[in-house]
Amino acid sequence: MTMDVVSFTTMDDATPEEIKLIAREAARHRTENLVPNLVRQLEAMQGHTYGYRVDRYTHSLQSATRAHREGARIDLVVAALLHDIGDDLSPDNHSEVAAAILRPFLDEESVWVVKHHGVFQTYHYGAAMGIPTDSRERYRDSPYFDTCAHFCAAWDAPSFDPDYDTLPLSFFLPMLQEVFSREPHAWGDPAIEGNGPAD
């Protein structure tokens, strides 16, 4: 007889079979719903300009378009597409929110770039805001420093142009399907848990 639902009401009482059921259902949900959920989150950023000349949705597509046209790896293109996906949920630490969502699927470099792009962006607007422009220097020894600096300078910072020939979301959907159909990195991986180079 196939078990459809667990019998426990506290996880301390879970059996190995019940945990396997939960893991199986979580994997099924991920396979069927993760990309549609991410797409909905992206589409929810339509209309919110926050004073920019384009909304956050267009900015995201534009960033990914620039990355793709430069020949960036798929992980970095997807990172560019989803780097601000945390904006609506938590603007003040949106970089960390986005990195946490992407961490199980993207490579270490791409996750690091997403996590730190908010700090690196201050290099481009800090002077106008009256804040330091050199905050990124504390990460100078990271092997991903140059990638993050380039991500911001070439793809993120200039992607507020209403006249740019931005590719549609449909162009990037196969990339999302490819990346998010990967087996997630295993729990306990230092890069996931925050104890490794991804910090």
CB neighbour class for 157 (10 Å; exposed up to 12, middle 13-18, buried from 19): middle
C-alpha–C-alpha distance, residues 48 and 169, integer Å = 17
Annotate 81-136 with DSSP letters as a single string: HHTTTTTTT-GGGHHHHHHHHHTTTS-HHHHHHHHHHHHHHHHHHHHHHTS-S-GG
List, for residues 28-42, the tens digit of each pLDDT value.
Answer: 787 788 999 999 999
| pLDDT value of position 24 | 81
Contact status, residue 120 vs residue 153, Cβ threshold 8 Å: no
Q: What Rg, from alpha-carbon coordinates, does the chain have? A: 19
State mean pLDDT over 138-150. Answer: 98
Q: Please give the mean pLDDT across all residues of the chain.
A: 90
Which pLDDT does position 158 carry in this prediction? 98
Q: In this predicted model, what pLDDT tens digit does every residue of 40-49 receive, in sequence order?
A: 999 999 998 9
pLDDT tier at 3, thresholds 50, 70, 90: low
Q: Which burial class, exposed, middle or buried, applies to 39 when counting CB atoms under 10 A from its CB (0-12, 13-18, 19+)?
A: middle
Give all domains of the chain, ordered by start, each with its CATH number.
13-193 (1.10.3210.10)
How many angstroms separate the CA atoms of 41 and 159, rounded? 19
Residue 194 pLDDT:
45
Q: Is the pLDDT of residue 121 over 70?
A: yes
The arithmetic mean of pLDDT across residues 94-100, rounded, is 95
Confidence of residue 190 (pLDDT cuts 50, 70, 90): low
